[in-house]
Chain A
Amino acid sequence: MARKVTYYPGCSLEGTALDYAASIAGVAPLLDLELAELEDWNCCGASSAHSVNQYLALALPARNLVLAEKAGQDLVVPCALCFNRLKVAEKALKGDAGARLGVSFQGAIKVWDLLDYLTQDEFLETLAGKVVKPLKDLVAVGYYGCLAARPPAVTDKKDYENPQNLERLLTALGASPRDWSFKTNCCGAGLALARPDIIDTLVQRLYDQALAAGATCLVVSCQMCQANLDLSQERISRKFGRDYYLPVFYFTELIGLALGHPQARDWLKGHLVDPRPLLDQKGLW
């Protein structure tokens, strides 16, 4: 029997991360998972709300939590930033914020980030059993970014400095994950529009460290990280006189590829750093 959860896509999965959304929708049925989109959900306010208006920073995600609790199932969130803001609101509502905001939330549902949810033992077992095209020779680093992990008082994560889910997943899919020290370092996505110069420094550091670890690609679970690492690669290469080539995969895209999902290649067409040459070379296209 299919497991059913409530799904909060977040704004970018309706826009710049349509490819992430498509890969999630494609992969869920392979795991016998039904994602029921939260009805009438709103933007969580992202980093802008908590930067300039603390009330908005709680009230916007709180509305979604109240809706989700009414829907009844646990809430699964693909975006690290949305996940973080929903968790902040959850903690606040379990305290005294409910009265202040005039909302009632009992805390009967759990808020998950998608990567954590899909890398629970039973899903990993199912996945490993369904691999038809092992991602052999795909040497990758898992890049978790910031906010799915930190701060642990908000996210309830245990391995927030050195998470291992992506590595476990990549191994189950037949790929070769490499260890590196920058898996939860910030890529600065929130500053991408206002201060792209800062992004260039932060992201170049990640490229260099990924290459130093021997990786040929990065695997992410956050669409802000994906956009930041994928969209700025050409600019950063030009700026620093380098020729970076590091495709940035969503973990769900790699699940689809390894499990032989018929649309998996279409999802990858949205990337600006074309992963085809790499996959071709590994015989995976």
Chain B
Amino acid sequence: MTQNFPPEPSLSARLAAASLAVSRCFQCRKCSGGCPLTFAMDLLPDQVIRLAFLGQEEQVLGCRAIWVCSSCETCTTRCPNGIDIAGVIDWLKEEAGKQGKTASQPLVAAFHHYFLESIRKAGGRLPEARMLRRYGLFKLWRQPDLGELAGNLKLGLRLFKKGRLRLAGPEPLKNRAEIDEIFKQAEFKWQGK
């Protein structure tokens, strides 16, 4: 007996549907040539694009490269075929999050969630000091490093003395309901664990 499965749009088609076509890539590797983060990557940007085109979803969603990308937009700027490479990487990060596949760089993925959740809780603006504290504790729990802790505490104290770390505020917006609505529409799900 044969079984029919509905066709699964390939990764490349889903990217194209999000205006992020990767099929134009002719592998000139200019993206990887200009990328300042390659030293920390497992796949180079051109390989991410190629593997995405080939539908190798497990590989591109599970790689470290998409999370250590600093979104500096050099690749997107220089691509001779107009591929928004940094945009593809953003899309892959969001998709990896949806599928719970952030294990390659959980600390980076969680940072983005701490950042956004802090904005939501504070009613529209980023409470820097609170975010630093919350994320710092999370990171310490996930990856205990007493040297880094000591360094960060010292740095925090110096910034505080210099007046660059405000413990209070920011005040919630007058129209914080609009921010709550935006987060609701975005279906933002806290994944900071």
Number of cross-chain contacts by CB at 8 Å: 168
- B147-177 contacts to A (CB < 8 Å): 148, 151, 155, 158-159, 162-166, 169-170, 173-175
Cβ of B45 < 8 Å from any Cβ of A? no
Cβ of A125 < 8 Å from any Cβ of B? no
CB–CB A15/B70 < 8 A: no
- CB-CB under 8 A from B108, the residues of chain A are 191, 194-195
A57 to chain B, nearest CB (A): 8
Cβ of A147 < 8 Å from any Cβ of B? yes
Cβ of A269 < 8 Å from any Cβ of B? yes
Q: A146-B74, A150-B77 are known contacts. Are A52 and B126 too (CB-CB below 8 A)? A: no
Cβ of B43 < 8 Å from any Cβ of A? no
CB–CB B113/A52 < 8 A: yes
Cβ of A48 < 8 Å from any Cβ of B? yes
- CB-CB under 8 A from A55, the residues of chain B are 185-187
Cβ of B101 < 8 Å from any Cβ of A? no
Docked complex Cα distance between A16 and B162 (Å): 10
- CB-CB under 8 A from A43, the residues of chain B are 119, 124-126
Cβ of A284 < 8 Å from any Cβ of B? no
A199 to chain B, nearest CB (A): 9
Docked complex Cα distance between A86 and B90 (Å): 17
Q: A63-B182, A147-B73, A186-B74 are known contacts. Are A193 and B148 too (CB-CB below 8 A)? A: no
The bracket for how many chain A residues form the interface is 35 or more
Cβ of B68 < 8 Å from any Cβ of A? yes
Judged by DSSP, the binding face of A is helix
With CB as the reference atom, state the residue of chain A lying closest to B178.
A63
CB–CB B77/A56 < 8 A: no
- CB-CB under 8 A from A146, the residues of chain B are 70-74
- CB-CB under 8 A from A18, the residues of chain B are 163-164, 166
CB–CB B163/A45 < 8 A: no
Say which one of B24-32, B34-42, B55-63 lies at the interface with A: B34-42
- CB-CB under 8 A from A54, the residues of chain B are 90-91, 94
- CB-CB under 8 A from A51, the residues of chain B are 71, 90, 93-94, 112
1/0 contact string of A144-180 vs chain B (CB within 8 Å): 0011001110100000110000000000000000000
CB–CB A198/B155 < 8 A: no
Cβ of A202 < 8 Å from any Cβ of B? yes
CB–CB B128/A15 < 8 A: yes
Cβ of A281 < 8 Å from any Cβ of B? no
For the complex of A and B, the 9 pairs showing the least CB-CB separation, nearest first, are A186-B72, A48-B115, A48-B112, A150-B73, A11-B126, A15-B128, A55-B186, A42-B124, A146-B72
**Interface CB pairs A-B, < 8 A, 10:** A48-B115, A49-B112, A55-B187, A147-B72, A147-B73, A186-B74, A194-B107, A194-B111, A202-B37, A270-B164
* B interface residues, Cβ below 8 angstroms from A: 36-37, 39-40, 68, 70-74, 76-77, 84, 86, 90-91, 93-94, 97, 105, 107-113, 115-116, 119, 124-126, 128-129, 132, 135-136, 139, 148, 151, 155, 158-159, 162-166, 169-170, 173-175, 178-179, 182-183, 185-188
